[in-house]
Amino acid sequence: MSEPQEANGGKIYVYYPGCSLSATGVAYDESLRTLFRLLNLRLQELEDWNCCGATSYMCIDEGSAFLLSARNLSLAQKVGARELVAPCAACYLVLRKTQDYVEKHREIGGKVAESLQRAGLPPLDGVKVRHPLEVLYNDLGVEKLRQLAVRQWRGGRIACYYGCQAVRPYDEVDRPHNPMRMDELLRAVGVPTVDYALKTKCCGGSLTGTVHEVGLRLNYILLKEARRKGAEAIVTLCPLCQFNLDVYQAEIARQSGERFDMPVLYFTQVLGWALGGDFKELGLKRSISGSDLIRRWFTAKEEVEAYV
């Protein structure tokens, strides 16, 4: 089957949202869709996708964890896609790892092929797993983004936080030790970013919900360092990172006696704003911490137009 295309020949990106993007990470979904629309890139949600299994499923049963992701990859192939775009870092990694292990380990590959056949789904044939950061960086490019920006940034300096599973252990989204692509894209649209040494340190993922104190401690360190580097906000590429840094901020402040109230945004929200997206469609009202600052930085479209 040929790749899904629009009538005018434009490529369609098949999109795997994952569970977070329809609940706690809904702002990521909204801003991603808005950004792609503003860039004239088409996103099409993968029909009837299933959970990626994240890190938890793998703790119980490895073999069937690969089958979960194989079903998603196979569904993408069924609609003719050669690529699948996954914005959540956990989803991205599980899909990417499955693709890798299926190719590298014959036993896993054999099991996967067998079970897909039994379910009446097409066998895996090298669907490429992609992250939106890398799609924007490689398919669109920094220069193009610079040309397309229509708004001037009136906010403060930003710490780009890459977290763990999008940049590790695979190096396709960005370099594992010193990723810079989010910084490059943001700077291209005029957003100043700071040198943030903790950009790849772990936020603890689901630890904030299980061993709360440990999770909070990890996020406290991330917030404190961002502040120390002069950042007024943090930008992430993962719904779990955003959740941890945003939602628990008040509790962290109470325990540490330090004030933060920093906006924690998705890179798609900031880029979408630079390209002319509006407050609501970028999910900017969904942040819990730093909402006053967000309102000040991202003033409504009409106000900006009157202002310029």
Question: Which residues are near another protein by CB under 8 A?
Answer: 19-20, 22-27, 48-51, 53-64, 67-68, 70-71, 101, 105, 107-108, 111, 115-116, 118-121, 163-165, 168-169, 176-177, 200-202, 204-207, 209-212, 214, 247-248, 285-288
107 or 143: whose CB is closer to another protein?
Answer: 107
The phi, psi pair for 129, rounded to 5°, reads -90, 130
Count CA within 13 A, CB hemisphere, residue 9.
Answer: 0
Cα 102 to Cα 112: distance, rounded to the nearest angstrom: 7
Please report, to the nearest 10 degrees, the dihedral formed by the alpha carbons of residues 197, 217, 211, 289 taken in order. Answer: -90
- As measured in angstroms, the least distance from the Cβ of 49 to another protein is 7
Using the Cα atoms of residue 126, residue 127, residue 132 and residue 137 in order, give the sign of their dihedral: positive
List helix spans (H) across 165-206: 181-188
In the bound complex, what is the minimum distance in angstroms from residue 141's beta carbon to another protein?
26
In the bound complex, what is the minimum distance in angstroms from residue 19's beta carbon to another protein? 5
Q: Amino acid identity, residue 267? A: F
**Closer to another protein by Cβ: residue 132 or 204:** 204
Looking at the Cβ atoms of 193 and 244, the one nearer to another protein is: 244
Phi first, then psi, for residue 115 (nearest 5°) are -75, -35
Distance (Å, whole) CA 108 – CA 128? 18
CA 168 centroid distance within chain: 14
- Find the shortest distance in angstroms from Cβ 247 to another protein: 6
Q: Which is nearer to another protein, 126 or 209 (CB)?
A: 209
- Give the shortest CB-236-to-another protein separation in angstroms: 14
Nearer to another protein (CB atom), residue 44 or residue 55:
55
Q: How far is the CB of 297 from another protein (least distance, A)?
A: 17
Nearer to another protein, 50 or 304 (CB): 50
Q: Would you state the structure tokens that stand for residue 77, as one six-digit string?
A: 């192939």
Find the distance separating the first CA and the last CA of the chain, reported in whole Å: 49
